[in-house]
Amino acid sequence: MSTRGRVSSSLPDFPWDTIASVKRRAAEHPDGIVDLSVGTPVDPVDPLIRRALAAVAEVPGYPATHGTPELRAAVVDALRRRFGITGVEPDAALPVIGTKELIAGLPRLLGLGAADLVVIPEVAYPTYEVGALLAGTRIARADGLTQLGPERPALIYLNSPSNPTGRVLGVDHLRKVVSFARERGAIVASDECYLGLAWDEEAVSILDPRVCDGDHTGLLAIHSLSKTSNLASYRAGFVTGDPELVRELLEVRKHSGLIVPFPVQSAITAALGDDAHEAAQRERYRARREILRNALTEAGFRIDHSEAGLYLWSTRDEPARTTLDWLADRGILAAPGDFYGPSGARHVRIALTATDERIAAAVKRLIAA
């Protein structure tokens, strides 16, 4: 019996394929579409990073899966400087080919299978579920760990600040998750891609000493350079935390050929060593967020959570697809909340990732509504 298509048939439809008709409708606006549906950067890559990439473009040999010593040192220094994370060992830093790749493959890289339970947030980035499906594990959506009863999960995903909601988990909440995981022998994988984009509340890492008391056992922190360094096209990220877990991931990745290209490793090193470009990009997002949030509120939306991150979790207290149509009539495309789980069915995710000119166009249309 052929196994062709068996893996893909177990996966949900690719979310953005389901809004193609709404996108065409929004594109019919006389002044063009304002696409606020995806979190892809639109601002330029800083010249410092581009120079680092180009400077080693002639290197022909295979790069190290573990990354250069300079890259790993830059990870340690940046985490301490930017987020107050201490105790990270350079050998426990591992570059990855974009954090989506790591998240989608993590259950398999850890050797999980049908007998294992993976816990994902109730409203969550779809790739957590996809990674569990690809590994054939069981899945539970749970924000409160008491919902799990006596279950002993193998892997717990956290995402703070959250995509899509912008919700921030505080120190006390994170401490409880770490304690629960250690009692039950679970690994915690904390997706911290938006950690540098906190607006209304402090966002803290799972590796923050206030959370884990300096003990990284069983903890993985996943970081992306796509957001505040605009490196989505570079596929640049890293994972760090428990040295033993990172070594395990490294061994599997070496055998699998999962290697970040050497020029990208150089770019990552440069980006992590420079805080000025990150601060400038953060300010761009802050300004866009302020005017877009005000316009949505004036147009009758309620903004829930959204204390951090690149999105405004917005609702008109109606089904998300109805709101999507309302926005499309004004030439604006958003992501429906049902992309992220049943609990998101009455919200839309509105991204800050458009140019100043397109954000201004969206604001004008919302206020006119």
What CATH number corresponds to the domain at position 122?
Answer: 3.40.640.10
Number of domains in the chain: 2
If asked whether residues 37 and 144 sit together in one domain, one would say no
* CATH number, domain with residue 313: 3.90.1150.10
* Chain centroid to CA 195: 9
If asked whether residues 246 and 123 sit together in one domain, one would say yes
Task: Evaluate whether residue 16 is within a structural domain.
Answer: yes
Residues with Cβ within 8 Å of 92's Cβ and at least 6 positions away in sequence, in order, are 216, 240, 241, 242, 243, 246
pLDDT for 9: 55
DSSP annotation of 65 reads: T
Task: Evaluate whether residue 53 is within a structural domain.
Answer: no
**Structural domain boundaries, residue 186:** 58-273
DSSP annotation of 282 reads: H
If asked whether residues 296 and 148 sit together in one domain, one would say no
b/e map of 166-197 (b: 16 or more CB within 10 Å)? bbbbeeebbbebbebbeeeebbbbbbbbbbbb
Task: Evaluate whether residue 1 is within a structural domain.
Answer: no
Q: Which helix (H) or strand (E) holds 306?
A: none
Residues with Cβ within 8 Å of 234's Cβ and at least 6 positions away in sequence, in order, are 45, 53, 225, 264, 267, 268
The tokens for 180 are 């629960």
Of the residues 217, 245, 273, the one at which a domain ends:
273
* Low pLDDT (below 50) residues in the chain: 1-3
pLDDT for 7: 55
Task: Evaluate whether residue 361 is within a structural domain.
Answer: yes
Task: Evaluate whether residue 31 is within a structural domain.
Answer: yes
Burial environment of residue 206 by CB neighbours within 10 A (0 to 12, 13 to 18, 19 or more): buried
Task: Evaluate whether residue 364 is within a structural domain.
Answer: yes
b/e map of 254-285 (b: 16 or more CB within 10 Å)? eeeebbbbbbbbbbbbbbbbbeebbeebbebb
If asked whether residues 147 and 261 sit together in one domain, one would say yes
pLDDT for 248: 96
If asked whether residues 107 and 197 sit together in one domain, one would say yes
If asked whether residues 292 and 258 sit together in one domain, one would say no
Among the listed residues 24, 31, 64, 40, the one whose alpha carbon sits nearest the alpha carbon of residue 354: 40
Residue 312 neighbours by CB distance under 10 Å: 26
Alpha-carbon distance 253 to 255, whole Å? 5
pLDDT for 66: 97
If asked whether residues 281 and 339 sit together in one domain, one would say yes
Contact (CB, 8 A) for 345 and 278? no
SS (H, E, C) 30-45: CCCCEECCCCCCCCCC
If asked whether residues 24 and 134 sit together in one domain, one would say no
The tokens for 215 are 């003990």
If asked whether residues 331 and 218 sit together in one domain, one would say no
Alpha-carbon distance 154 to 184, whole Å? 8
Amino acid letter, 244: E
If asked whether residues 24 and 106 sit together in one domain, one would say no
Task: Evaluate whether residue 51 is within a structural domain.
Answer: no
If asked whether residues 158 and 251 sit together in one domain, one would say yes
Of the residues 273, 303, 335, the one at which a domain ends:
273
Of the residues 220, 248, 273, the one at which a domain ends:
273
Partner residues linked to 314 by β-bridges: 303, 348
pLDDT for 369: 75
If asked whether residues 332 and 269 sit together in one domain, one would say no
